[in-house]
C-alpha cells in the first residue's frame, strides 16, 4: 500500500513538472498564476498521499496550511498585479 | 529506499533547481515571482521528504503564503517594467565571480557540516524534556531552552516593522478601486477559517509541529485577505492600540523573561511547575503579535491616525 501511495505522489509530482512548463511558457500572467494555483492544489494532494505512505500526522497540518493559503496568492494577484500589468511584455515567446 | 521514492526525490530536486534558476534569472519579473512561490511550495514538500514537518509547516505558511503575497503586491506597485537588451549581456559576464564565490561557499559549508559533532544536541534536548513543560521537543527548544533566540527573532521582526513604517505611508489608503463583488463574500467565508486554523496551530504547538510562527503567518494571511477585500484598519484601532498589538508579543515575552529572573533567579528561567502555562502565554502572545506584525509589513506604512482635539 505504501508503494501505491508513493506511486500516486510521483504521478502528481509529474503533473507539477508539466504545470512548471506552463509557468515558464505563459504567455499571459494569468496563465502562469493559474498553473501556480494548480501546483498548489497538487501539492496538497501530494502531501496527503505522503501522509498515507509515512503516517506522520503533521503532514495533514502542512496540507491544511497549503489549502487555506491557496486563496491568498490568487486574491493578491487579482487585486494588486493583474489590472496594472495584464499581458506579459514577453510577447509569448519561450525562453 | 524504494525506486519510486528515488524517482520522486529526483523529480522534486529537478523541479526545484529549474524553479530556483527561473526565480533568479527569469527575464520577466512576474515569472520570477511565480517561480519563487512555487519553489517555496516544493521546498515544503522537500522538508517533508527529509522528515522535518516543523520546518515544512513554517515554509508552507511563510514561504509559500505571505511572502508570495508581499512580492505580488510589490510587483503591482512597481508598474510595468522597463528593460533593455543590454542587461542580459552584462548579466552573463557578472555571473562568473558569483559562480566562483558560490563554489567556494558550498565547499566551505560542506567542510563545516562534515566537521560538526555527529549526534548533535538532540539527545541533550530529549534528556531535558521532562522539565520543559511541553511535549514537543521543537517547541521546548524554541520557547524554553533557547527562548532567548526566539525573543530576538521577534525583536528583529519588530525592528523591520518600525523601519518600514517610518519610511512610508499606508499603501492601501491610496487605493480607491473597489474590489470585485465576489471578493468580500469569499473573505467573509474564509476569514473565520483562518482564525480557527491560527488557534489550532497555536494549540498544536504544545505537543507537535505548529506554534507561534506558522500560526502568526496564518493570522496575517487572513488579515491581509480582509484588507484586499476592502476592509480597513478601524479608526479606533489606529495609533496606540495598533502599536500595542505590534509590540505586544515582545512585551509579553520580556515580562515572562524578567519574571523568571525574579521567581527562579535567572533570565528566562521558568519555574518547572508553571512552565506549561508560561509557554502557552508566550506562544499565544507571540503568535497574535507576529500576525499583526506581518500584516503591518504588508500595509507598508502606519495607517494614518485621525487626530481629534490635537494638532
Q: What pLDDT is stored for residue B109 in this prediction?
A: 92
CB contact under 8 A, A69 and B30: no
List the single range of B46-50, B76-80, B266-270 with lowest mean pLDDT.
Answer: B76-80
Q: Show the cell assigned to B46.
A: 522537500
Highest mean pLDDT among A21-25, A62-66, B241-245, B280-284: A62-66
Highest mean pLDDT among B53-57, B171-175, B232-236, B267-271: B53-57
Better-scored residue on pLDDT, B27 or B191 = B191
CB contact at 8 A, B287 and B216: yes
The overall average pLDDT reported for chain B is 80
Residue bearing cell 480597513: B232
Closest chain A residue by Cα to residue B225? A72
Which neighbouring-strand residues pair with B302?
A: B169
How many contacts (CB atoms, under 8 Å) link A and B? 175
Q: Is it the case that residue A32 has pLDDT exceeding 50?
A: yes
Confidence of residue B105 (pLDDT cuts 50, 70, 90): very high
Q: Is it the case that residue B11 has pLDDT exceeding 80?
A: yes
Q: Is it the case that residue B88 has pLDDT exceeding 70?
A: no
Element (H, E) at B12: helix B3-25
Better-scored residue on pLDDT, B306 or A57 = A57
Q: What pLDDT is stored for residue B179 in this prediction?
A: 60
Provide ipTM, 2 decimals.
0.82
Q: Show the cell assigned to B155.
A: 525583536
Q: Is it the case that residue B96 has pLDDT exceeding 60?
A: yes
- The residue extents of the domains of chain B are 1-77, 121-306
Better-scored residue on pLDDT, B177 or B84 = B177
User: CA-based Rg of chain A, rounded to a whole angstrom?
Assistant: 16
Question: Which residues of B46-167 form beta strands (DSSP E)?
Answer: none
Confidence of residue B212 (pLDDT cuts 50, 70, 90): confident
The closest CB to that of A90, out of B28, B56, B210, belongs to B28
Closest chain B residue by Cα to residue A25? B31
The Cα of A62 is separated from the nearest Cα of chain B by a number of Å equal to 5
Confidence of residue B104 (pLDDT cuts 50, 70, 90): very high
List the single range of A48-52, B34-38, B114-118 with lowest mean pLDDT.
Answer: B114-118
Instruction: Read off the pLDDT of each residue in B270-286 and give the average, rounded to a whole number.
Output: 81
Secondary structure class of B143 (helix, strand, coil): helix
Q: Does A49 contact B at CB distance below 8 Å? A: no
Instruction: Read off the pLDDT of each residue in B157-173 and give the average, rounded to a whole number.
Output: 80
Which neighbouring-strand residues pair with B169?
A: B302
Instruction: Read off the pLDDT of each residue in B2-6 and give the average, rounded to a whole number.
Output: 82
Q: What pLDDT is stored for residue B141 in this prediction?
A: 79
Highest mean pLDDT among A8-12, B23-27, B271-275: A8-12
The overall average pLDDT reported for chain A is 78
Tell me A55's DSSP state. -
Q: Is it the case that residue B289 has pLDDT exceeding 70?
A: yes
DSSP string, B109-122: HHHHHHHS-SSTTH
Q: How many CA atoms lie within 13 A of B200 on its CB side?
A: 14
Confidence of residue B90 (pLDDT cuts 50, 70, 90): low
CB contact under 8 A, B65 and A46: no
Instruction: Read off the pLDDT of each residue in A57-69 and give the average, rounded to a whole number.
Output: 86
**How many residues appear in chain B?**
311
Secondary structure class of A93 (helix, strand, coil): coil
Interatomic CA distance for residues B130 and B140, integer angstroms? 10
CB contact under 8 A, B68 and A76: yes
CB contact at 8 A, B295 and B228: no
A 12-41 near B (Cβ less than 8 A): 13-14, 16-17, 20, 23-24, 26, 29, 32-33, 36, 39-40
pTM summary value: 0.81
Interatomic CA distance for residues B286 and B214, integer angstroms? 11
Choose among A3, A69, A54: nearest CA to B51: A54
Q: What pLDDT is stored for residue B60 in this prediction?
A: 85
Better-scored residue on pLDDT, B29 or B177 = B29
Q: What pLDDT is stored for residue B101 in this prediction?
A: 92
Amino acid at each position: 500500500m505504501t508503494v501505491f501511495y508513493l506511486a500516486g505522489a510521483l504521478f502528481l509530482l509529474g503533473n507539477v513538472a508539466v504545470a512548471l512548463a506552463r509557468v515558464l511558457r505563459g504567455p499571459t500572467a494569468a496563465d502562469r498564476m493559474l498553473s501556480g494555483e494548480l501546483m498548489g492544489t497538487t501539492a496538497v494532494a501530494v502531501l496527503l498521499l505522503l501522509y498515507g505512505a509515512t503516517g506522520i500526522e503533521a503532514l495533514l497540518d502542512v496540507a491544511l496550511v497549503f489549502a487555506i493559503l491557496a486563496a491568498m496568492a490568487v486574491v493578491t494577484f487579482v487585486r494588486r498585479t493583474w489590472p496594472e500589468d495584464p499581458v506579459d511584455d514577453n510577447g509569448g515567446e519561450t525562453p | 529506499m524504494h525506486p519510486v521514492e528515488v524517482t520522486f526525490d529526483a523529480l522534486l530536486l529537478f523541479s526545484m533547481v529549474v524553479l530556483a534558476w527561473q526565480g533568479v534569472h527569469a527575464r520577466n519579473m512576474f515569472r520570477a515571482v511565480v517561480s519563487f512561490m512555487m519553489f517555496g511550495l516544493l521546498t515544503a514538500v522537500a522538508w517533508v521528504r527529509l522528515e522535518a514537518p516543523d520546518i515544512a509547516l513554517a515554509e508552507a505558511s511563510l514561504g509559500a503564503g505571505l511572502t508570495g503575497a508581499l512580492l505580488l503586491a510589490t510587483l503591482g506597485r512597481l508598474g510595468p517594467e522597463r528593460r533593455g537588451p543590454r542587461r542580459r549581456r552584462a548579466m552573463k559576464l557578472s555571473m562568473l565571480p558569483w559562480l566562483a564565490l558560490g563554489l567556494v561557499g558550498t565547499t566551505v559549508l560542506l567542510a563545516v557540516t562534515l566537521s560538526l559533532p555527529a549526534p548533535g544536541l538532540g539527545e541533550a534536548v530529549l534528556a531535558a524534556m521532562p522539565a520543559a513543560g511541553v511535549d514537543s521537543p521543537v517547541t521546548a527548544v524554541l520557547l524554553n531552552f533557547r527562548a532567548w533566540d526566539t525573543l530576538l527573532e521577534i525583536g528583529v521582526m519588530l525592528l523591520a516593522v518600525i523601519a518600514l513604517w517610518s519610511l512610508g505611508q499606508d499603501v492601501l489608503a491610496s487605493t480607491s478601486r473597489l474590489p470585485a463583488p465576489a471578493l468580500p463574500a469569499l473573505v467573509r467565508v474564509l476569514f473565520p477559517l483562518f482564525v480557527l486554523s491560527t488557534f489550532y496551530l497555536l494549540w498544536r504547538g504544545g505537543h507537535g509541529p505548529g506554534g507561534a510562527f506558522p500560526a502568526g503567518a496564518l493570522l496575517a494571511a487572513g488579515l491581509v485577505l480582509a484588507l484586499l477585500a476592502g476592509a480597513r484598519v478601524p479608526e479606533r484601532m489606529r495609533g496606540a492600540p495598533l502599536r500595542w498589538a505590534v509590540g505586544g508579543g515582545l512585551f509579553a515575552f520580556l515580562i515572562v523573561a524578567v519574571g523568571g529572573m525574579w521567581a527562579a533567579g535567572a533570565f528566562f528561567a521558568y519555574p518547572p511547575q508553571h512552565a506549561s502555562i508560561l509557554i502557552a502565554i508566550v506562544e499565544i502572545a507571540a503568535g497574535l503579535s507576529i500576525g499583526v506584525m506581518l500584516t503591518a509589513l504588508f500595509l507598508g506604512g502606519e495607517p494614518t491616525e485621525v487626530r481629534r482635539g490635537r494638532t
